[in-house]
Structures are given as structure tokens and as C-alpha cells.
Amino acid sequence: MPRYRLEPTAEQESVLLRHCSDARYVWNLCVEQESWWRRDRGPMPRFAERCRQLTEAREEFPWLAEGSVIVQQQAVKDHGQAMTRFFDGTARRPRWRRKGQDKGFRIVHVKPGDVRRLNRNWAQIRVPKAGWVRFRWSRPVPADVKSYRVTLDRAGRWHVAFAVIPQPVPGPGTGEVVGIDRGVKVSVALSTGEMLVVPGHSAPETARLPRLQRKLARARRGSKRRSRVKTQAARLKAREADRRRDWTEKTSTDLARRFDVIRVEDLNIKNMTRSARGTAEAPGRNVAQKAGLNREIGRSGWGALVRRLEDKAPGRVQKVPPAYTSQRCSACGHVDARSRESQARFACTACGYACNADVNAARNIAAGHAVKARGADRDAGAVNREPQLALLPA
């Protein structure tokens, strides 16, 4: 979904904020309606029935009728799609939306004349009740656009995203396979020996963020100073997120173009980043260390990279069980925890082969090895046994 930076005027921004408020209000109405549902009351009303109820509400409340009916109806549809994902088990149950969070709305039935280019760097899009709003022409807009979504992030930036499914990235056709090992110190290690790191904050930015957080803690709630400092911290975090997103897009495109088969570890990131706080009866240990590890995993973009690879190279991404990939020697197949001498060094205790530990794991992933607890390969026999004298040649 290509996204562009939107640059509304002050008057247009007030209209866009009103659209965001209407979408949030209708969404919360749907959430409240779902909360009253019981099994003995029959099925919940569908999209058509809710649109009829919305029409009655607009006739009764003039302030609601002043808003865009498209924005309000699409908020109903967004909630219905969210409930569908919840029942499918792919997302959590839709919750209340608070003011200042999840600001955005969707517009459908976009015509070819609703988007026009002004010059080399700027274009315009028609938004209901706001007129023509300028946005940056950072890339060509797809010709078959039927809908778009306008969002406002916490850093105060407006964006417009056009709902178009991009074409897959074609592979080279050479049959080349690559393994990807994801880590914290090294974000991505390839079986080719390449090691990539997600760009984050610079040294001055890293030192500035704690200062802003301390200023935010001292500011009085509801004050202009608190709002100003909060925006500054949000812009700093948004800069890091933008760099991570840009790195993810470029890296996934490069891998999809260079390799026909891409193998990654089948990691359950949600469980890996679960808090170690525990409960009052059974408090956790090393809670602060585990929280720091969770933050670094989130900054490394493990899940985003695999999702973008599956989008750009459908059918070419294979997931390998992660068991013992970091303890297995990619040269002889010997499995020993002592071979992992440190975070960065791997030295096999059987054959003496040594290389970077992350690259060694990536080569095991590229080979598709899934080692069991006793060291046996999924397709072959055990390879980490001691030599047997009876089997040695005389």
C-alpha cells in the first residue's frame, strides 16, 4: 500500500480532524453495540443494517449529519472487518478508540480525476468536504486506485495511502537459495556471509530521547508544555520507525530480486517478546533485562521483514524450525552447545570449522536443517555421535 506525505492547509486540517473524530465516534458505537450482544438475542446487524441505523441517527442528530457519510459508513465497514479477523483468530477483539490515537479515515469510490499531478514534486487529491489537498509526489500513483486512507500519526504528520495490491517482485530464475538468521546485535545475517543492521537513532538522538522523556514526566498534565514535549518525543521515535521501515522495504526487495528461495526461522515472536514480570504470587526474575531484550527485538524488525518478503515473494519464502540452528556446524553437521563460544564466534568442537555464529546459523537455515533434541536430522541419521571403533576401517 503506497503511502504519501499529505500537506493540508489549516482549514483543510480542521476538516480532516473532523473526519477522524466522526470515524472514531462511529467505531466506538459499533464496539458498544457488540458489547451488548448476547447469544440469545440473535445475530448482530450486518453492514447494510448498520448503515440504515446510521442514516436514522444522521436524521436525528444534525451535528452527525454535518460529517461525511462515506467516512462514517467506512468506519462501520472497518469494524466489521476487524470483527471478522477476530473470529478468524488473526487479531484481537476491537477495542475503544481514545482521542489522540488511531486517527484516520477511509474514502472509497475514487475516480481517476480525483488524483492529479501538479508538478515534479507535488500532486493533489480530492477529499470530501476538504477539497483538493496537496501531497508529495514521491512515486507514481497506481492507475487503478479505488480507495485510500488518510492517517495522522503521533508526530503530527498526515499521510495518504492508496489501497492497491503491488505486483510480486520477480526472482532471478537461477534457483539460488538463501538463509536468513535474525538477531539483535546483527539484525539479519545471510548465508552468503552478509550481515545487515537496522539503522536506528544516531548518538545525539539517543541522548536526546531520555532528556525529552524526563521533561515529559515533569510537565503538568494538560499543559501546552507537555503537549509540545510529547510531540517532540513522538517525532524522534517516528524518525527511527521511518528508518526501520525504509530499511525493511529496501532489504526485502533486494532479497526477493536476488534469490529464488528464501528460508527463515519459524519464530513465535509474540511469545518471545512476552513480559517476564509474572504475577504478585510468582514474580518474575530479570524483568528489566527481559524488557530491554524485547525492545531490541522490536527495533530489529523481525516480523516486518518476513511479512514484506511474503508479500513480495509469495510462495518463495520457507520457514524452517529454529531448533539447534545456532549449535549445529554447517560444515560437518555436528551439534554441540559448546561450539557457540560467544555471541559472534562459532568453532566446531568436532571438525574445528570456525566462522561467525550468525552466518553459521544462516547456512543451516539455508540447508533447511531441522535438528531434533538428540541431534538427529529430519531426513538423515544422527551426525553428532562420537566415532565408533567398530565402524572405523582397519
Q: Which residues are annotated as catalytic? A: 181, 265, 358
C-alpha cell at 300: 530489529
Query: Measured at the alpha carbon of residue 275, what is the angle toward residues 269 and 276, in degrees to the nearest 5?
Result: 120
Alpha carbon distance 176, 366 (integer Å): 10
Q: Burial, 95: exposed, middle or buried (Cβ in 10 Å; 0-12, 13-18, 19+)?
A: exposed
Residue 128, amino acid = P
Backbone dihedral region of 247: left (phi > 0), alpha (psi from -120 to 50 degrees) or beta? alpha
CA distances from 143 to 17, 114, 127, 166, 368 (A): 28, 11, 18, 12, 41
CA-nearest of 242, 221, 261, 271 to 365 is 261
Q: At a CB cut-off of 8 Å and minimum separation 6, what does 308 contact? A: 248, 249, 252
Q: What SS3 class is residue 313?
A: coil
178 contacts 26 by C-beta, under 8 angstroms: no
Please name the residue that has the C-alpha cell 508544555. Answer: 225
Alpha carbon distance 164, 152 (integer Å): 20
Q: What SS3 class is residue 132?
A: strand
- DSSP annotation of 328 reads B
Q: At a CB cut-off of 8 Å and minimum separation 6, what does 14 contact? A: none
CA distances from 359 to 5, 226, 331 (A): 38, 46, 12
Alpha carbon distance 112, 162 (integer Å): 13
